[in-house]
């Protein structure tokens, strides 16, 4: 395959979400679905961020190496490239992990993150939300592109947030009274104190918003001070420090009802939030950065959400391709 990446301008490891996007692009290109406009859109995506170029390079390198391997398992995995798109993407991601182990980079944080997501007990696709009732009666919602592991033992009720976002409403533990309810992320632990709360891992930090009761934040280092976040407050932490609590953002709960609530939200942040629920690219003209969004927008139909935006702001939705959308000035 013709190289689309300048290897001299690549920086840090891509996130799992970026690697997933690269796998989607690769699958479409391999299936022969590209025309001139789509190839230009791929090139624009690559030029948008160094992490995009690195993710594409990793996918290309992995597929090139496996195409020359004689191993039956590798050939069988490559065979799925002629099957459904979802299986294609999952197979490419699996090959990236297999190759990472074979090329002595499996200890890199990004690789560990990808592996954790693929091995997680419960996952959601891009745009999918899922409600689960746990063994003790607690309610757990998984947001778009999220992954969790659930472990109820004799000593605790433990939710490991591997990636993405969860909303939790805890129930009284009548099965084994006294067990704490813990949500852990890569940055620390949260103990629920009879509560309803939301946890988001954005890769750099974990964010918690509390809507009922309270939540105690504890960092990985035992000598670091914790923080109790009360109802109506939110905070964030990165494994080293905890930010002071401030007023909770209602959007961190409204997604469970299928809505993105924007309360004077800057347009760049609105776009970033909505893009999490869409496949492909959603961008905006930098000249629109000053605009602020107020309203409630449906997450199940993000095209409708964009149409509503056109009706309330001086913007138009430009669709180069169904999955390549840019907000422009009217």
- Beta-ladder partners of 298: 259
Same domain for 141 and 92: no
Q: How far apart are CA 155 and CA 165, in angstroms?
A: 25
- Using one digit for the tens of pLDDT, what is the confidence trace for 172-207? 998 899 899 999 999 999 999 989 999 999 888 999
Write down the pLDDT at residue 106.
40
Residue 130: which of 120, 148, 117, 143 has the closest Cα?
143
Give the pLDDT confidence score for residue 12 in this predicted structure.
52
Q: Are residues 127 and 245 in the same domain?
A: yes
Confidence (pLDDT) at 65: 61
| Spatial distance between the Cα atoms of 256 and 249, rounded to a whole number of angstroms | 14
Q: Check the CA dihedral 289-271-118-142 and report its sign.
A: positive
DSSP designation for 242: B
DSSP string covering 125-136, please?
A: -TT--EEEE-TT
Do residues 236 and 248 touch, judged by C-beta distance below 8 A? no
Query: How far is the C-alpha of 50 from the C-alpha of 227, rounded, in Å?
Result: 36
Could you tell me the pLDDT band of residue 108, with boundaries at 50, 70 and 90? very low
Strands 281-284 and 324-329: parallel
Give the DSSP H/E element, type plus range, for residue 279: none
Provide the domain count of the chain.
3
Domain end marker among 98, 119, 140 = 119
Would the pLDDT of 31 be above 70? Answer: no
**pLDDT for position 29:** 77
pLDDT confidence tier of residue 1, bands split at 50, 70 and 90? very low
* Residue 84, C-beta contacts closer than 8 angstroms, at least 6 positions apart: none
CATH of the domain at 156: 2.60.120.1440
Average pLDDT over residues 153-181: 94
**In this predicted structure, what is the pLDDT of residue 91?**
66
> How far, in whole angstroms, is CA 31 from its chain's centroid?
26
Mean pLDDT on 52-79: 64
Shared-domain flag, residues 186 and 103: no
Residue 85: which pLDDT band, with cuts at 50, 70 and 90?
low
Mean pLDDT of 110-126: 74
Higher per-residue confidence, 77 vs 269: 269
Query: What pLDDT shows up at residue 146?
Result: 92
The answer to whether the beta carbons of residues 5 and 56 sit under 8 Å apart is: yes
> pLDDT class for 99, splitting at 50, 70, 90?
low
Q: Is residue 282 part of a domain?
A: yes
CATH code: domain of residue 279: 3.55.50.30
- Is 1 inside a domain boundary? no
Q: Residue 114: inside a domain, yes or no?
A: yes
**Which residues, listed in sequence order, are joined to residue 187 by a DSSP beta bridge?**
none
> Crossing angle, helix 50-67 and helix 85-102, to 10 degrees?
80
Averaged over 143-161, what is the pLDDT?
95
Domain hosting 85: range is: 7-119
Which residue among 252, 277, 301 closes a domain? 252
Instruction: Clarify whether residues 131 and 242 are in a common domain.
Output: yes
232 and 317 share a domain?
no
Q: What is the reported pLDDT for 55?
A: 87
Contact 28, 41 (CB under 8 A): no
- Render 84-106 in DSSP notation, one character per residue: -HHHHHHHHHHHHHHHHHHTT-T
Compute the CA torsion angle 323, 270, 124, 127 (nearest 10 deg): -40
Query: Quick one: tokens of 305?
Result: 């959400």
The answer to whether residue 2 is domain-embedded is: no
Region of poorest pLDDT, from 60-64, 262-266, 283-287: 60-64
Residues 86 and 132 grouped into a single domain: no
Domain end marker among 119, 136, 167: 119
**What does DSSP assign to residue 288?**
G
């Amino acid at each position: 395959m013709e190289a689309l990446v300048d290897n001299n301008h690549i920086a840090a490891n891509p996130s799992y979400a970026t690697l997933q996007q690269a796998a989607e692009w690769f699958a479409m290109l391999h299936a022969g679905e590209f025309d001139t406009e789509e190839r230009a859109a791929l090139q624009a995506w690559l030029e948008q961020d160094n992490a995009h170029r690195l993710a594409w390079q990793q996918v290309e390198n992995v597929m090139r190496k496996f195409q020359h391997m004689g191993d039956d398992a590798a050939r069988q995995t490559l065979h799925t490239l002629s099957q459904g798109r979802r299986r294609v993407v999952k197979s490419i991601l699996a090959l990236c992990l297999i190759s990472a182990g074979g090329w002595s980079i499996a200890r890199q944080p990004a690789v560990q993150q990808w592996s954790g997501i693929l091995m997680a007990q419960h996952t959601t696709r891009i745009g999918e939300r899922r409600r689960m009732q746990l063994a003790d009666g607690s309610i757990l919602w998984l947001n778009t592109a999220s992954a969790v592991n659930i472990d109820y033992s004799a000593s605790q009720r433990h939710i490991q947030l591997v990636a993405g976002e969860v909303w939790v409403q805890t129930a009284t533990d009548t099965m084994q009274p006294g067990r704490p309810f813990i949500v852990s992320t890569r940055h620390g632990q949260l103990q629920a104190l009879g509560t309803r709360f939301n946890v988001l891992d954005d890769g750099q930090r974990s964010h918690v918003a509390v809507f009922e009761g309270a939540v105690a934040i504890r960092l990985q280092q035992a000598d670091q001070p914790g923080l109790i976040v009360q109802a109506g407050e939110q905070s964030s932490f990165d494994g080293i420090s905890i930010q002071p609590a401030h007023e909770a953002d209602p959007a961190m709960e409204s997604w469970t009802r299928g809505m993105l609530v924007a309360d004077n939200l800057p347009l760049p942040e609105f776009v970033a939030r909505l893009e999490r629920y869409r496949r492909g690219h959603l961008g905006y003209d930098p000249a629109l950065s000053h605009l602020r969004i107020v309203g409630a927008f449906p997450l199940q139909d993000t095209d409708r959400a964009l149409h509503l935006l056109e009706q309330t702001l001086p913007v138009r939705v430009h669709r180069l391709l169904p999955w390549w959308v840019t907000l422009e000035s009217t």
